[in-house]
């Protein structure tokens, strides 16, 4: 084989190897670019989901936190304060107020949970960490109300009943605020009027009414469930009001 032919063959092999190497590098680069693009899209989607969640939660955060705080405060005052005394020795007006206002703070909390659920029901937020944490706190409270195995005693509200009470308490928001707050919770005066004049509405609270009145005799049978509820409500408050701006640590005593 002469020198010219050898050189030509070597050049051809080198050229072929160069082409193969370039093709392999191009494929690797394309794969890497596709992977980076996919990761970028996932991060953008994750950020978009987190932003949508914050938008909805931000809309309902204040009323939900306030409702949770009022409910845990009412439970605390029954178990650690002297609120049950109004049921035992108060006049008729004091007894009625204690019962009705207790029913109201329960219903008010369920209403804002339902409003939040409606706000996020069509959003795909399953892989947003903050969404999972929020759902876990709401589920803990939902379970504390509904369970008859882990917790026993009065103040049990089945899951579907929790939803139903929340639905009954919601009203369309004001027309000029519908974009920000499409739902609002029925006020206390309207709630008391419905209890007194709408038998179908009042029937949803009949068992709870009896449970509240029974606290006049003893809080012992209700203690386990109510204490668990108060702690779970405080966990939700700690999550939504962090750092503690609306309710300072001094007001977050747990049973």
| Backbone phi, psi, residue 185, to 5° | -90, 140
Least confident of 117-126, 152-161, 245-254: 117-126
In a domain, 25, yes or no: no
Q: How many domains does the chain have?
A: 1
Look at residue 18 and tell me if it is in a domain. Answer: no
Q: What is the domain extent for residue 190?
A: 49-251
CA dist 169 and 3 (Å) reads: 96
CA angle 131, 136, 141 (to 5 degrees): 130
Q: Give percent helix, percent strand, percent coil of the chain, each to the nearest 5.
A: 75, 0, 20
147 or 35: which carries more pLDDT confidence? 147
Tell whether the model's pLDDT for residue 123 goes beyond 50: no
Domain annotation covers residue 40 = no
In this predicted structure, what is the pLDDT of residue 124? 47
- In whole angstroms, what is the distance from residue 166 CA to residue 229 CA? 17
- 253 CA to centre of own chain: 21
The verdict on residue 8 lying in a domain is no
CA torsion sign, 60 to 137 to 117 to 124?
positive
% of the chain exceeding 90 in pLDDT: 56
Flag the least confident range among 12-16, 40-44, 54-58, 143-147: 40-44
Entry pTM = 0.77
Establish if 11 belongs to a structural domain.
Answer: no
Give the residue, 29 or 94, on which the prediction is more confident.
94
- Is residue 110's pLDDT more than 60? yes
Write down the pLDDT at residue 192: 97
Residue listed under structure tokens 């007894």: 95
Looking at per-residue confidence, does 54 or 95 come out higher? 95
Which pLDDT score, from 0 to 100, does residue 27 have? 76
Looking at the domain assignment, is residue 54 inside a domain?
Answer: yes
Residue 119 in this model has a pLDDT that exceeds 60: yes
Residue 224 lies in a domain: yes
Q: Is residue 91 part of a domain?
A: yes
Distance between alpha carbon 158 and the CA centroid of its chain, in Å? 18
């Amino acid at each position: 084989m002469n020198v010219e032919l050898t050189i030509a063959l070597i050049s051809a092999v080198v050229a072929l190897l160069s082409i193969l190497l370039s093709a392999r590098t191009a494929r690797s680069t394309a794969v890497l670019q596709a992977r980076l693009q996919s990761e970028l899209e996932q991060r953008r989607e994750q950020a978009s989901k987190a932003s949508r969640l914050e938008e909805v939660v931000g809309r309902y955060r204040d009323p939900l936190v306030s409702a949770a705080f009022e409910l845990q405060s009412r439970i605390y005052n029954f178990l650690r304060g002297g609120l049950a005394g109004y049921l035992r020795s108060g006049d008729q007006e004091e007894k009625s107020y204690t019962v009705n206002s207790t029913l109201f703070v329960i219903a008010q909390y369920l209403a804002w949970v339902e409003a939040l659920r409606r706000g996020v029901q069509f959003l795909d937020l399953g892989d947003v960490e903050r969404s999972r944490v929020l759902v876990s706190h709401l589920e803990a409270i939902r379970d504390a109300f509904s369970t008859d195995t882990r917790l026993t005693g009065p103040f049990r509200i089945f899951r579907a009943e929790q939803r139903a009470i929340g639905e009954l308490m919601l009203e369309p928001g004001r027309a000029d605020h519908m974009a920000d707050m499409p739902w609002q919770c029925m006020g206390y005066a309207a709630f008391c009027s419905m209890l007194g004049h709408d038998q179908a509405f009042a029937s949803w609270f009949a068992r709870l009414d009896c449970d509240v009145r029974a606290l006049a005799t003893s809080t012992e049978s209700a203690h386990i469930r109510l204490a668990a509820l108060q702690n779970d409500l405080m966990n939700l408050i700690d999550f939504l009001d962090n750092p503690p701006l609306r309710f300072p640590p001094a007001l977050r005593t747990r049973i």
